[in-house]
């Protein structure tokens, strides 16, 4: 084949023109620059957000802004405690209600469910994540909240001896409904992560338990749950991150009352809701305070998500070093990655 | 041991004690019950969407703009045409921005960055982006494109906010798929003397394409349902507007505006719009699932 | 065991036998014209028969994964148009060593190689040498058959031609077709495949897939083909076909084959090298290695005492 090149000696076979190498370098450096630009962009956004929030922080101090219990727009007082508390109460409720149900769903799908139903069940739970936030808000305020009100009132009356639970009259939009809606919204992500972590339980652990004569529940309790604890906690933290940042549904069903709610079934506010609700009309210091609320929200989710990622990656790769968390991803994780966003 | 169920001969003495058996039954029942409870909201949401939303649906509902006359009778409040077109346009531009960039970054991570220190930093930042609340993306874009330029709301600004939201989803899902492509495939192409860029474009990306389409469609579906990033970037308007440089309506923002209305007809429009939005998103999900089922990487 | 017609010479360990093949055209890059086709296209498809392979010489070749030294300074000569088999227990570094020859080793993150690998007399690790050109001159067949899953049989064979050039293979459609046919014929696949060219490559049987991969390597007209346990995923009949093919192919290329199967080495190789723990224990004519090896470790291995 090389007869044409043989006699001349002018075509060294190990050479290639510099021109032919060009696209390789262009692609490599182009993509590297792209990745670097993304980093730069995020840093730039963060710096600008801090800049916009500075007047509000200067006004009351970072600590004062976050923990003063006084959000009064006309009085130019911006203490975000009612918002922070609202965010924490609703997200806490979401975890309390959502995580046990999500874990149970994952257990059912992985350990109890007939194989034929497993895929369908998984799809249905994931569909919960496909419903937009605003639709949950719409459904929550026009269906869930009114239907729940008598039940809530009953609880409030019976349990009035517990502080913060009841005594007062129940409003239709309130902390509890917001928490319940959030619980529904975080269910798919917590369930997806739990399912993934449970799938990593080695079959011989489970068989060892069953082989000793354990019932199915005893097998779950002794072999599955202990093995998955870190992963489930991580999944719950990811859910918490979502609940904290969730905006529109909460804005619709929390009542948007700019004070600290007196009880669980009273109106309140949250960090995300205050931005959605007031940003359009805000000016000057008020606007800066809303940026500051956004910054607090951002930092809060960053912390929660950071802890969550560490827990999940440790749980899914127990034998591997955390330096290679992407090495063992499976096709199911596409959905996980999407749901986690 | 007195087992409640008849045990034949030898095995009777190995029978599980009634207490353990009861506990097992109880736990299983609780787990099953929780699973059923988890699915109830889905059923209720779908039921209410259909029962309330279908009533609003009509040709004129889909083909007229909202009028803003919220205090008159139902026939004069208009439909959701501008919201549908706005959502389609905003999401299309957001996809056009986020998909190439996202896949580019994923390719860099898998093919070039690999386990390098810089790649770890990039992955970390992508994770950070994943956790950012959607309303904060709206704030970012507001600061840079509205405060920064001194101009007003515009459809394309909403697209940028949604693109930021889609970016980590696209990167993550594309990266997962690219990692599934066996190294043997890359190596055999490299061993043929193919330059790396040709390996990427002719071997890696075509093989990964079906899987990446799934992730991309799910990202689009997610972005289409977002309200918060659009509130102070694309804003809202009643009139149909095809120019991305102007105020632009969208389905989620339309629903959000209508929810707070005291007029029943307007709330019904919200239900109709919600049904439309959910139908669009479910369609994208369905297509994504069909594609991913068809293409299982070996 | 040695195939007839190739009289094995006396075992010589010195890498000096580059005689008779020294063709001046192999020189490090010296002001080469800007030409994306280092290997000139053939005038006709049938001329493959006249082609000859080139020798490969390893000089103090070392390979590392991070800091771990997997290949510990090997001197070895692969003679042109001969089949050299590398045997040794798993983990002895034989695959790594072979992957250093066409510089695939460095594709693994953190891996690098030291020493010299001469293709004829050009060092493939010379800084002026382009790694892509190295791989076009030195083809490789992998352990598991891996046709490109998105491509047809034809496209798989044409892949190397298309991927290496600016987009189209060769000088035109007819030329490309001729080259693909030539490569498929050379891989003994043409009769089976001539009417199945548009079928997906992944749909063939394992043995056909592996011959397809060989055809794919042949299509770019390499001087040397490295085979990394090419039959380990195949059944005995498919293996036999590949072995017959190897015997045929050595007329035009130099072949290095890694195998864990000693019978296979004995069947196909002119010379055999035995490696242990990253070092070359001995190399010589296949018959000698299997019947009267110099080193006791070789004897223990070939008689099945370990490994």
The DSSP-derived string for A38-49 is HHHHHHHHHHHH
Contact A49 B173 (CB under 8 A): no
pLDDT at residue A336 is higher than 60: no
- Residues B123, B52, single domain; the answer is no
Q: Is the pLDDT of residue B60 over 50?
A: yes
pTM of the entire predicted model: 0.82
Q: Average of pLDDT values for C72-84?
A: 93
Determine, for residues A12 and C41 on separate chains, whether the beta-carbon distance falls below 8 Å: no
Average per-residue pLDDT for chain C: 82
* HEC assignment per residue over C32-82: CCCCCCCCCCCCCHHHHHHCCCCCEEEEEEEEEECCEEEEEEEEEEECCCC
Q: What pLDDT is recorded for position C168? A: 44
Does C119 score more than 60 pLDDT?
A: yes
Residue A269 inside a domain? The answer is yes
pLDDT recorded at residue A53: 93
- b/e per residue, B28-66, with b = 16+ CB within 10 A? beebbebbeebbebbeebbebbeebbeebbeeebeebbb
Find residues 138-167 of chain B whose CB sits inside 8 Å of chain A: 139-140, 143-144, 147-148, 165, 167
For residue A13, being part of any structural domain is answered with: no
**B39 and B110 assigned to the same domain:** no
Cβ pair B282:A127 closer than 8 A: yes
C217 touching B (Cβ < 8 Å): yes
The minimum CA-CA distance between A334 and chain C, rounded to whole Å, is: 21
Answer whether A111's CB lies under 8 Å from A227's CB.
Answer: no
Determine the residue of chain B that is closest to A294 in CA distance.
B136
Q: What is the pLDDT, as a whole number, of residue A86? A: 93
Report the C-alpha dihedral over residues B245, B248, B253, B254, rounded to 10 degrees: 180
CA C281 to centroid of chain Cα atoms = 21
Q: Which pLDDT value is given to residue C39? A: 43
CATH number, position A227: 1.10.3720.10
Domain that residue A271 falls in: 84-284
The pLDDT score that the predictor gives to residue C41 is 42
Cβ within 8 Å, pair C140-B191: yes
pLDDT at B1 over 50: no
Tell me whether residue B163 is in a domain: yes
Instruction: Report the complex ipTM.
Output: 0.89
Q: pLDDT class for C11, splitting at 50, 70, 90?
A: very low
Instruction: Check if the beta carbon of residue B236 is closer than 8 Å to that of residue B175.
Output: no
pLDDT band at C306; cut points 50, 70, 90: confident
pLDDT 10s digits, A153-198: 888 888 877 777 766 778 889 999 999 999 999 999 999 999 999 9
Cβ–Cβ of A134/B252 closer than 8 Å? yes
Q: Are B15 and B113 within one domain?
A: no
Interface contact flag, B184 C132, Cβ < 8 Å: no
Q: Is residue A331 over pLDDT 50?
A: no
Both B51 and B164 in a single domain?
Answer: no
* Dihedral angle computed from the Cα positions of residues B281, B282, B288 and B293, in that order, rounded to the nearest 10 degrees: 170
C-chain CB neighbours of A14 within 8 Å are 26, 28-29, 38, 119, 122, 124, 126, 129-130, 133-134, 137
Q: Is the pLDDT of residue B277 over 60?
A: yes
Q: Does C146 reach chain B within 8 Å, measured CB to CB?
A: yes
In eight-state DSSP terms, residue A72 is E
Residues A25-72: tens digit of each pLDDT: 899 999 999 999 999 999 999 999 999 999 999 988 888 898 888 888
CATH class of C48-148+222-302: alpha beta
Cα separation of the two ends of chain C = 22
Across the range C18-44, mean pLDDT stands at: 40
Backbone φ, ψ for residue C62 (5° rounding)? -125, 145
Confidence of residue B69 (pLDDT cuts 50, 70, 90): low
Quote the CA–CA distance of C103 and C96 in Å, as a whole number.
10
Q: Would the pLDDT of C46 be above 80? A: no
- Read off φ and ψ for residue C23, nearest 5 degrees: -110, 130
Average pLDDT (B273-282) is: 94
Q: What is the pLDDT of residues C101-113, one digit of tens each?
A: 999 998 888 899 9
User: Which pair of tokens denotes residue B9?
Assistant: 């001969």
| B93 assigned to some structural domain | yes
Q: In this model, does residue B288 exceed pLDDT 90?
A: no
Within-domain flag for B4: no
Give the helix/strand (H/E) hosting A123.
helix A115-130
Average pLDDT over residues C164-184: 75
Residue C26 pLDDT > 80: no
Mean pLDDT of A108-136: 91
Mean pLDDT of A115-141: 92
Q: pLDDT-derived band of residue B70, with 50, 70 and 90 as boundaries?
A: low
Query: Residues of chain B with pLDDT > 90: what percent?
Result: 53
If asked whether residues B210 and B116 sit together in one domain, one would say yes
Domain count, chain B: 2
Report residue C16 as tokens: 């000096």
Q: What CATH number should be reported for the domain holding residue B289? A: 1.10.3720.10
Using pLDDT thresholds of 50, 70 and 90, give the confidence band for residue C62.
very high
Do B28 and B99 belong together in one domain?
A: no
Query: Does residue A294 lie within any of the structural domains?
Result: no
Quick check: A218 pLDDT over 70?
A: yes
> What distance in Å separates the CA atoms of residue C64 and residue B253, rounded to the nearest whole number?
59
Question: How long is chain B?
Answer: 298
- Is the pLDDT score of C14 beyond 70? no
CB A10 within 8 A of CB C31: no
> pLDDT class for C175, splitting at 50, 70, 90?
confident
B81 plus B215 within the same structural domain:
yes
Nearest to C274 by CA among C95, C90, C87, C89: C87
In this predicted structure, the answer to whether residue A309 has a pLDDT above a threshold of 90 is no
What is the per-residue DSSP string for chain C? -PPTT--------STT--TT---TT----SS--S-S-SSPPPSSGGGGGG-----EEEEEEEEEETTEEEEEEEEEEE-TT-EEEEE--TTSSHHHHHHHHTT-GGGSTTEEEEEEEEETTEETT-TTS-HHHHHHHEEEE-SS----TTSBHHHHHHHHHHHHTTSS-TTSHHHHHHHHHHHHHHTT-HHHHTT-TTSBGGGS-HHHHHHHHHHHHHHT--SEEEEESTTTTS-HHHHHHHHHHHHHHTTTSEEEEE-S-HHHHHHH-SEEEEEETTEEEEEEEHHHHHHS-SSHHHHHHHTTS--
Q: Which chains touch B (3 or more CB pairs under 8 A)?
A: A, C
Strand partners, C64: C69, C112
Q: Which residue has the tokens 């997806």?
A: A192
What does the DSSP 8-state code read for residue A62? H
| pLDDT tens digits, B96-135 | 999 999 999 999 999 998 888 899 999 988 988 888 999 9
Instruction: Name the band, by pLDDT with cuts 50, 70 and 90, for residue B8.
Output: low
Task: Quick: pLDDT tens for B157-207.
Answer: 999 999 999 999 999 999 999 999 988 889 999 999 888 898 999 999 999
Residue matched to tokens 């910054």? A295
Rounded CA gap, C74 and C86, in Å? Answer: 12
- Band of residue A17 on the pLDDT scale cut at 50, 70, 90: low
Under an 8 A CB cutoff, do C148 and B298 touch?
A: no
pLDDT for the residue numbered B74: 58
Domain count, chain A: 1
Whether residue B192 and residue C146 make contact (CB cut-off 8 A), yes or no, is no
Q: Which chains touch C (3 or more CB pairs under 8 A)?
A: A, B
Predicted local distance difference test score (pLDDT) of residue C3: 44
Residue A244 has, within 13 A of its CA and on its CB side, a CA count of 26
The Cα–Cα gap between C282 and C185 comes to 36
Give the domain extent around B40. 9-56
Structure tokens of B110? Answer: 């898998």
Neighbours of C167 (CB within 10 A): 8
Question: Per the structure block, which two tokens stand in for C252?
Answer: 């035009």
**Kind plus residue range of the DSSP H or E element containing A71:** strand A69-72
| Same domain, residue pair B23 and B50 | yes
Question: A174, A265 in Cβ contact below 8 A?
Answer: yes
Residue A258 has pLDDT above 50, yes or no: yes
Q: Which of A222-226, C19-23, C161-165 has the highest mean pLDDT?
A: A222-226
Question: How close A3 comes to chain C (CA, Å)?
Answer: 7
Average pLDDT over residues C191-208: 90
CA distance A183 to A178: 9
């Amino acid at each position: 084949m090389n007869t044409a090149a043989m006699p001349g000696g002018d075509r060294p076979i190990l050479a290639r023109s510099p021109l032919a190498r060009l696209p390789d370098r262009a692609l490599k450096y182009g993509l590297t620059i792209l990745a670097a630009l993304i980093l730069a962009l995020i840093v730039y956004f963060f710096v600008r957000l801090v800049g916009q929030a500075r007047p509000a922080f200067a006004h009351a101090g970072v600590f004062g802004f976050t923990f003063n219990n006084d959000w009064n727009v006309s009085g130019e007082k911006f203490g975000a405690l009612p918002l922070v508390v609202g965010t924490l109460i609703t997200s806490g409720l979401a975890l309390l209600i959502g995580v046990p149900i999500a874990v149970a769903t994952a257990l059912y799908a992985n350990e109890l469910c007939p194989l034929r139903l497993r895929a369908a069940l998984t799809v249905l739970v994931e569909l919960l994540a496909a419903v937009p936030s605003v639709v949950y808000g719409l459904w929550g305020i026009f269906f869930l909240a009114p239907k729940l009100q008598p039940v809530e009132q009953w609880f409030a009356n019976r349990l009035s001896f517990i502080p913060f639970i009841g005594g007062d009259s129940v409003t239709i939009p309130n902390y509890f409904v917001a928490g319940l809606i959030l619980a529904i919204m975080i269910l798919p992500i917590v369930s997806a992560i739990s399912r993934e972590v449970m799938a990593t339980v080695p079959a011989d652990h489970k068989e060892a338990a069953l082989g000793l004569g354990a019932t199915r529940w005893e097998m779950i309790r002794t072999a599955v749950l202990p093995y998955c604890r870190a992963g489930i906690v991580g999944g719950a933290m990811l859910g918490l991150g979502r609940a904290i940042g969730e905006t529109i549904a909460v804005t619709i069903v929390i009542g948007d009352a700019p004070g600290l709610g007196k009880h669980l079934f009273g109106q309140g506010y949250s960090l995300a809701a205050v931005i959605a609700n007031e940003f359009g009309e805000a000016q000057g210091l008020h606007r800066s305070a809303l940026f500051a609320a956004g910054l607090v929200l951002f930092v809060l989710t960053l912390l929660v998500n950071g802890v969550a990622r560490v827990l999940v990656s440790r749980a899914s790769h127990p034998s591997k070093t955390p330096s290679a968390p992407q090495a063992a991803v499976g096709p199911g994780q596409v959905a996980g990655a999407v749901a986690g966003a | 041991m007195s087992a409640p169920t008849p045990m034949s001969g030898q095995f009777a003495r190995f029978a599980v004690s009634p207490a353990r058996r009861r506990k097992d039954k109880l736990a299983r029942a609780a787990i099953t019950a929780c699973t059923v409870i988890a699915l109830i909201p889905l059923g209720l949401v779908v039921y209410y969407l259909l029962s309330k939303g279908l009533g609003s649906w009509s040709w004129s509902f889909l083909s007229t703009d909202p009028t803003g006359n919220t205090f008159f009778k139902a026939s004069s409040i208009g439909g959701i045409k501008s919201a549908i077109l706005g959502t389609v346009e905003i999401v299309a531009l957001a996809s056009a921005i986020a998909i190439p960039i996202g896949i580019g970054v994923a390719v860099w991570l898998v093919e070039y960055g690999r386990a390098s220190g810089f790649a770890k930093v990039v992955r970390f930042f992508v994770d950070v982006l994943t956790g950012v609340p959607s309303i904060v993306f709206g704030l970012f874009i507001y600061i840079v494109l509205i405060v920064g330029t001194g101009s007003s709301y515009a459809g394309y600004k909403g697209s940028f906010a949604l693109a930021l939201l889609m970016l980590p989803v696209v990167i993550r899902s594309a990266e997962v798929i690219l990692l599934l492509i066996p190294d043997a495939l890359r190596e055999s192409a490299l061993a043929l003397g193919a330059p790396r860029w040709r390996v990427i474009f002719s071997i890696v990306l075509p093989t990964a394409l079906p899987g990446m389409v799934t992730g991309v469609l799910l990202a689009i579906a997610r972005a289409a349902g977002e309200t918060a990033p659009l509130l102070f970037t694309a804003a809202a308007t009643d009139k149909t507007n095809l120019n991305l440089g102007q105020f632009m309506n969208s389905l989620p923002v339309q629903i959000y505006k209508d929810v707070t209305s005291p007029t029943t007809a307007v709330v019904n429009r919200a239900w109709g719009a919600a049904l439309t939005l959910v139908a669009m998103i479910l369609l994208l999900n369905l297509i994504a699932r069909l594609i991913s089922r068809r293409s299982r990487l070996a | 065991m040695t195939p007839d017609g190739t009289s094995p010479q006396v075992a010589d360990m010195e890498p000096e036998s580059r005689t008779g093949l020294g063709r001046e055209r192999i020189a490090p890059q010296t002001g080469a014209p800007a030409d994306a086709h280092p290997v000139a296209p053939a005038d006709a498809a049938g001329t493959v028969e006249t082609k000859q392979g080139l020798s490969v010489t390893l000089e103090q070749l070392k390979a590392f994964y991070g800091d771990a030294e997997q290949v510990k300074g090997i001197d070895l000569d692969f003679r042109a148009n001969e089949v050299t088999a590398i045997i040794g227990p798993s983990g002895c570094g034989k695959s790594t060593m072979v992957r250093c020859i066409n510089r695939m080793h460095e594709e693994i993150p953190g891996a690098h190689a030291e020493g010299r690998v001469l293709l004829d007399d050009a060092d493939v690790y010379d800084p002026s040498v382009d790694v892509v050109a190295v791989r076009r001159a030195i083809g490789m067949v992998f352990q598991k058959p891996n046709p490109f899953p998105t491509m047809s049989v034809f496209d798989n064979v044409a892949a190397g031609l298309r991927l290496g050039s600016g987009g189209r293979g060769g000088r035109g459609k007819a030329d490309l077709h001729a080259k693909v046919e030539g490569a498929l014929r050379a891989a003994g696949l043409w009769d089976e495949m001539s009417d199945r060219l548009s079928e997906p490559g992944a749909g063939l049987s394992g043995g056909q897939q592996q011959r397809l991969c060989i055809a794919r390597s042949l299509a770019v007209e390499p001087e040397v083909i490295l085979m990394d346990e090419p039959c380990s995923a195949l059944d005995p009949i498919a293996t036999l076909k590949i072995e017959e093919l190897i015997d045929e192919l050595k007329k035009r290329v130099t072949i290095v084959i890694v195998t864990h199967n000693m019978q296979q080495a004995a069947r196909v190789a002119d010379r055999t090298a035995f490696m242990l723990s990253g070092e070359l224990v001995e190399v010589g004519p296949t018959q000698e290695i299997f019947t009267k090896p110099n080193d006791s470790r070789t004897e223990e291995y070939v008689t099945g005492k370990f490994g």
